[in-house]
Amino acid sequence: MTVAFSSEVDKLLHRAFAKAREAHHLSMTVEHLVLEMLREEAVLRYLRGCGTNLDALRALLEAKVASFRTAQIETVETQPNGEFSRVVRRTIEDAGKQRRESIVLHDVFLAILEEPDGYAASLLVAQTSNPAAFEALRKERERVAKRSP
């Protein structure tokens, strides 16, 4: 079974890469990805419902991204870093295990949260008054997957 990114996730990934390239960053990171996710209304609605301090989260992520090493040349080949690659690989593997054909935003969100030492994941948890809601999302995803043929 082939698993594909939904158009929403595909656009998200392209925007994140474009932002990293525009900034001449050598690496595409999960922080770039989360910043772009914060432009998605569905993600914002969900995080607000979890009590996430969106302004603080955005400011901390922007500061982190601003600190990234940049290329000294105008045309840079921005490459995904290890953490970013693991997150993408995890979303694909999880969707495959659940026999789904498409990867959606909350799949990417859950994969980000599963990065145990990830800066973006730790910020999401730290800036949220109800991080248990993240676990509830994971369990709901698993429940739906078990019902799927």
Q: Which domains does the chain have, with CATH numbers?
A: 4-147 (1.10.1780.10)
Return all residues near 21 (Cβ < 8 A) that are at least 6 apart: 76, 78
The whole-number pLDDT of residue 71 equals 72
The whole-number pLDDT of residue 149 equals 52
Residue of 54, 39, 33 whose CA lies nearest to 108: 33
Reduced to 3 states, what is the DSSP secondary structure of residue 52? strand
- List the structure tokens of 78: 């921005």
The whole-number pLDDT of residue 56 equals 97
Is residue 103 within 8 A of residue 9, CB to CB? The reply is yes
The whole-number pLDDT of residue 73 equals 66
| pLDDT beneath 50: ranges in the chain | none
The whole-number pLDDT of residue 77 equals 83
- pTM value is 0.90
The whole-number pLDDT of residue 74 equals 66
Residue of 13, 11, 2, 7 whose CA lies nearest to 80: 13
Digit-coded pLDDT (tens) for 7-43: 999 999 999 999 999 888 989 999 999 999 999 999 9
The whole-number pLDDT of residue 27 equals 92
The whole-number pLDDT of residue 99 equals 84
